[in-house]
Amino acid sequence: MNMDFFNYVSIALSFVYTAAVLRLLGGISSATNKQNRYIVHIIFLGVIIISIIISFWGTWALTDVDWKLYKFILALMDGALYYFIATVLIPENPNEIVSWRDYYYKNKNKFFYGMLVFLVYIQVHSAVLINQELLHPARFGNLLAFIPIILGIRSKSHKVHLGIAIYYIVFVTLMVFTIASEPGWVDNL
């Protein structure tokens, strides 16, 4: 069977992305249980699921990469970071959670630090894998994403966290219908 290298990379990436999505989907029933759900947590579940889909859709931009092992590892880190974030949002035994609100605030710093690491990773990824210039306008948009992350780490206010969650769900929804609507959308930035 003859397979070009991007197909091989794409299959590997799909395994990692799938693991993250399955972790999130496996906990949705428990997280949306009427007795103990928390709207901020539920919104972030949606945000991360949509973000994973957007990221996988953007991998088409990697078709022309001159692949080396370090680039392959760097590409796999995308899904691995999503998996880490998924494990923070949905624990091993989600049915044991008594209050998703309490769980969210107990783990919010892990979640937002995971998002912060992901944001730094995006900078490295775009420079190494798609040769995006250091002063590319898309990088300034990523800098704006630091603000809600820092607010999320520092605040324990429901209103602040709800505002951050709404910001992110609007952001990823807009991406789906605008810049991320085409395969390999990252190349079009």
Q: Are 188 and 57 in contact (CB under 8 A)?
A: no
Q: Choose among 96, 5, 85: nearest CA to 41.
A: 85
* Residues 31-39, mean pLDDT to the nearest whole number: 93
Q: Choose among 172, 189, 187, 186: nearest CA to 52.
A: 172
Instruction: Give residue-wise pLDDT tens across range 72-104.
Output: 999 999 999 999 999 999 999 999 999 999 999
Please report the pLDDT score of residue 188 as a whole number.
Answer: 62
Mean pLDDT of the chain: 90
* Residues 128-146, mean pLDDT to the nearest whole number: 79
pTM of the model: 0.91
Q: Choose among 116, 102, 114: nearest CA to 37.
A: 102
Helix 137-144 to helix 146-154 angle (10° resolution) is 20
* Residues 139-150, mean pLDDT to the nearest whole number: 83
% of the chain exceeding 70 in pLDDT: 94
Please report the pLDDT score of residue 187 as a whole number.
Answer: 60
- Residue 1 binned pLDDT confidence (cut-offs 50, 70, 90): very low
Please report the pLDDT score of residue 77 as a whole number.
Answer: 95
Q: Are 187 and 130 in contact (CB under 8 A)?
A: yes
* Residues 112-124, mean pLDDT to the nearest whole number: 93
Please state the φ and ψ torsions of residue 108, each to the nearest 5 degrees.
Answer: -60, -35
Print the SS3 string covering 96-115: HCCCHHHHHHHHHHHHHHHH
* Residues 141-169, mean pLDDT to the nearest whole number: 93
Instruction: Give residue-wise pLDDT tens across range 59-78.
Output: 888 888 888 999 999 999 99
- Residue 2 binned pLDDT confidence (cut-offs 50, 70, 90): very low
Instruction: Give residue-wise pLDDT tens across range 4-13.
Output: 888 888 899 9
